[in-house]
Structure 1
Amino acid sequence: MKKHLAALAGAVTALGLALAGCSGPAAQPAPTATEIVPRQISWLLSRPADGSVITIVKKLAEEYAATHPGFSLNLITTPDRPSYLQKLQTLAAANQLPELFDTDATPFTQKLVKQGKLVDVEAMLTDLGLLDKYRPLALDYQRFDDKGLYMVPFEFEMEFFWYNKALFEKAGVGVPKTLDDIATLCKPLRDSGVIPISVDGQDGWPLLRYMSYYPFRVAGPDYIDQLKRGDAKMGDEVGSKAVNWMASLGSSDCFQDGFSSQGYTDARDLFTSGKSAMYQIGTWELASLTSKDLPADVRDNVDFFTLPTVDGAVTADNEYTVVSGIGMAVSKQTYDPLMKDFLKFVLDRYSERLAQSGHLTPMKGYEPTIPAGSSELYKRALAEVDNLGDRIAFPWDTKLDPTTNTLMQQELTLLVQGDSTPEAFTQKIDASIAENGPKFFG
């Protein structure tokens, strides 16, 4: 135990020195209220190193450095999400947060806000003259329950159900109109020789997406906020419908065999190789789903439908999961004239560059450039942004307390596999929320 603590302390110290050596204002002359003093700053990231966000910001930082000698941006990338969160929490506990870091509107981040460690992003964007340029839904995704905004969005993606038209036709099924129809499709698809739905079961959050759908349709986006506080129960009517629907997906054999040990790439590859008929994911995967390198019998048959409805739905058909990605928080301790000027430079230019890379943007007014060789589906999918409603389904993994979040992901796997029952699932989740919810949302 002592060796473990010593090793952890050493890791914290080493990372802290790395951050301090490249970003700490204490090593620099204190700037005046208006003086910009170039230095190296750090961004702790949890994004693909070759993804559009990092690629674009890195280029913009190089352009900024060209006119600000002495400036540089140190990108500290940890794509593995659990490792990243542990690193972030360790740095926060040691009061060694870098200038910029990735985070969601989670209870942990809310704690940092209460401790006065984060810049108010709404006030910052207003000061920079940028607030009104952002899509309201992009900002709303980053907000806390009290509507406070402490993260900058760098993405804007819609989540759809992608399906293979040829495999649907072969099985004699049509696009599901309701969530219950999805379970009904699974047997004929299985009987035709394909996996009905491929899912990333290894990471937990995809199943939690499915769990959020029924409550969003039946009770609206505020249900999860009631549930996490214990004001609603998993055993209530809304929660019971969600739990029983998840159990029906399992009993209908909707997901691939061994899904719990298969990851993100596995699920995507099952769909793009024509082995599964449906795949739920966001528009960030459009390049993979429309690539000219796909087998022709898959590429020519990929289509999508939005989140199906339910009887008595309180949300509209054009309201579903829309995300603006993991947000970027700004450390209040190191927000100075340089940080303000650099962020203004980046955010003024970022959305235009992102649109040129073929993506929707968190800001309004930028038309994505469709990559050469993409199928017509690429443009048609992105065009759905013009049909969006006013409310979005929030991912539950950014809403629940950490203990319940982990437990629900584990128990959902057992429920869908048939290794647990709706009653057992409900009892465990309600007990966890009763014990842990007040610690974060009391």
Structure 2
Amino acid sequence: MRKSKKMILPLVSMLVMSILLSACGGGDSASSGENGSSGSGKVTISFMHWRGEDSEAFNKTIDAFEKENPNIHVEMQTLPSDQYQSTVQSKISDGSTGDVFASFPGAQFQAFSKAGLFTDLTGSSFLSAYNPKLIEAGQHDGKQYAIPYQLVYNDPIYNVKLFEKYGLTPPKDWEGFLALCQKLKDNGIIPIAFAGADIGPGQFMNTMVMNNAPSDDIFTKVEAGEAKLTDEFWVKTLTQIKELNDKGYFQQDALGTKDPAAGALFIQEKAAMLASGSYQLAQNKQQNPNLEQKLLAPITVSADQAKYEGVHTTTFMLAVNSKSKHPEEAKKFLEFLSKPDVAGAYANQTGQNVTVNDVKYDTPELQVAGEWANKKTVFQPRFTILNGDNQKAVTNSIQAVLSGTSPEEAAQQAQAIIDQHIGK
């Protein structure tokens, strides 16, 4: 009995050592385990963005991608857009999440560029799937760091049937726009539903300033100290927004109204216009199938002085995290999203126009936005402001005039903040 115990002990020791050695020797398998299922070689990549309303469409896209790429699993994480702008940089900075992530153009894109979070996509074969003019917002120093996936028109939406009922057509000058608003108000209709508490100032400022601005790069000049918000172009813009508010062309307490409440006024046909953009067309239609919608932009000058008919933005800029442990797999996912049939399915499911060529749009809402492709539009002025604090100062000046501050004083307060950042 003692002899058998002596024989068993070495055997047990050998077995333990064998297990330990096999665990240590399985370096490749352990590495694969980090990528996904332990020892399976399956890679998991993280896809992070702010459009939670697109989750159903993206889940279908991810399922199709995983069938085509069985060794890659995509986990999607979304945040509300305001949280995304304020917190996403810290979340993705170590590469543990957001192998593929979305960026807003302008200030956020600039911040990510400075932080070195973008992988250089220049020369990638899938870039040929895009309209080259529409992906320029994702370029920095001549390199393509992100791909704007969505094409948005930041022009107010109007209720076609209400306009027809009162014999109204989109005006071609400021006096015409004021007259249109007064006609609606006289008939008990709110002219403009305005989300003054959150997205309204940032959206509406674009069409309001587009023809007032002396140049397309005016905000670049402001940030460089070569122009000021106290100059005529911005004081005039604030004055006109104040005029709309003072005349009762926004709903009561516009400053306290958030986006869902403003949207509800339009969807319920209590308001004839909604100060948002084409991205909201599909959502409105879903909630009120009887709505007939089109886009218009207030022309703040005389017809002969108007340079632009509206505003466009190429946004939802997709990028590969420079800190990603799986850059090739992340690029494969971007390549898949770039296919016209994949982009088309996403567009038609979500109601978002895209920057990919040869996409067929099935819905009236997408076709409405598509009508603007041949109009003279300017890239969203707000997103040419590259410092986040400066951008907030500009939109805050709109909220200030809604609260009763004079346009001159509101402009001066905003300029003081910009002065603090000049030269930094």
**Distance between the aligned counterparts of 2:76 and 2:265, measured in 1?**
33
Equivalent residue in structure 2 for 1:343, among 334, 342, 358 = 334
Partner of 1:133: 129
Q: Which residue of 1 aligns with 2:359?
A: 366
* Contact 1:38–1:338 (CA under 8 A) maintained in structure 2: no
- Aligned-residue Cα RMSD (Å) equals 3.3
Inter-partner Cα distance in structure 2 for 1:437 and 1:30: 45
Q: What is the aligned partner in structure 1 of residue 368 from structure 2?
A: 381
Q: Aligned partners of 2:294 and 2:338: how far apart in 1? A: 33
User: What secondary structure, in the 3-state scheme, does the structure 2 residue paired with 1:270 have?
Assistant: helix
Taking a change above 3 Å as real, the CA distance of residues 365 and 260 of structure 1, as seen in their structure-2 partners, is: same
1:141 and 1:346 map into 2 onto residues whose CA distance is: 18
Going from structure 1 to structure 2, the CA distance change for 1:210 and 1:143 (only over 3 Å counts) comes to farther
Give CA-to-partner distance per residue, 1:371-398, whole Å, 9 cap, x none: xxxxxx6465144144134x52315156
Query: C-alpha separation between the residues in 2 aligned to 1:303 and 1:59?
Result: 29
1:63 aligns with 2:64: yes
Paired amino acid for 1:388: K
What's the offset of the Cα at 1:423? 1.5
In the superposition, the TM-score normalised over structure 1's length comes to 0.76
Secondary structure at the aligned position of 2:154 is classed as strand
Match of 1:225 in 2: 220
Aligned partner of 2:385 in structure 1 is 399
Tell me how far apart the structure 2 counterparts of residues 211 and 195 of structure 1 sit (CA, whole Å).
Answer: 19
**Counterparts in 2 of 1:46 and 1:93: CA distance versus 1, 3 Å:** same
CA distance in 2, matches of 1:180, 1:76: 47
For residues 163-196 of structure 1, give each alpha carbon's deviation from its aligned partner in whole angstroms, at most 9, with x where no partner exists: 3355446667553212453334333432321211
**Structure-2 residue corresponding to 1:72:** 73
2:119 matches 1:119: yes
Contact map agreement 2:94 2:323 (CA 8 A) in 1 = no
Tell me if the contact between 1:196 and 1:277 (Cα under 8 Å) persists in the aligned partners: yes
Pick aligned residue for 2:296 from 269, 291, 305: 305
Q: Which amino acid aligns with 2:378?
A: I
CA shift, 1:38, in A, is 3.6
2:203 — aligned with what?
209
Question: 1:84-233 alignment to 2 at 5 Å?
Answer: 84-91=84-91, 96=96, 98-121=98-121, 123=122, 126-127=123-124, 129-143=125-139, 146=141, 148-165=143-160, 167-168=162-163, 174-203=169-198, 205-218=199-212, 219-233=214-228
Q: Deviations over 1:385-426 (max 9, x none)?
A: 44134x523151562422232233333122024x20011111
> 2:413 maps to which residue?
428
Aligned partners of 2:63, 2:420: CA distance in 1, in Å? Answer: 49
Tell me what 1:267 maps to: 262
Report how far residue 337 of structure 1 moved.
2.9
Q: Which one has the largest radius of gyration? A: 2
* TM-fit CA distance, 1:307: 4.9
2:9 is matched with none
Tell me which amino acid in the other structure corresponds to 2:49: L
User: How far apart are the structure 2 equivalents of 1:26 and 1:223?
Assistant: 54
Number of the residue aligned with 2:44? 40
Give runs of aligned pairs for residues 228-307 of structure 1, distance below 5 A.
228-290=223-285, 293-294=288-289, 299=291, 302-307=293-298
Shift of 1:214: 4.2
* Aligned AA (2:229): M
Partner of 1:34: none
Match of 1:352 among 344, 363, 384: 344
Gaps of 5+ in 2: 1-28, 36-40
- Please give the TM-score of this superposition, normalised by the length of structure 2: 0.79
- Inter-partner Cα distance in structure 1 for 2:226 and 2:393: 19
User: Corresponding residue for 2:319?
Assistant: 329
Give, in angstroms, the shift of residue 310 of structure 1: 2.3
Moved more, 276-285 or 194-203: 276-285
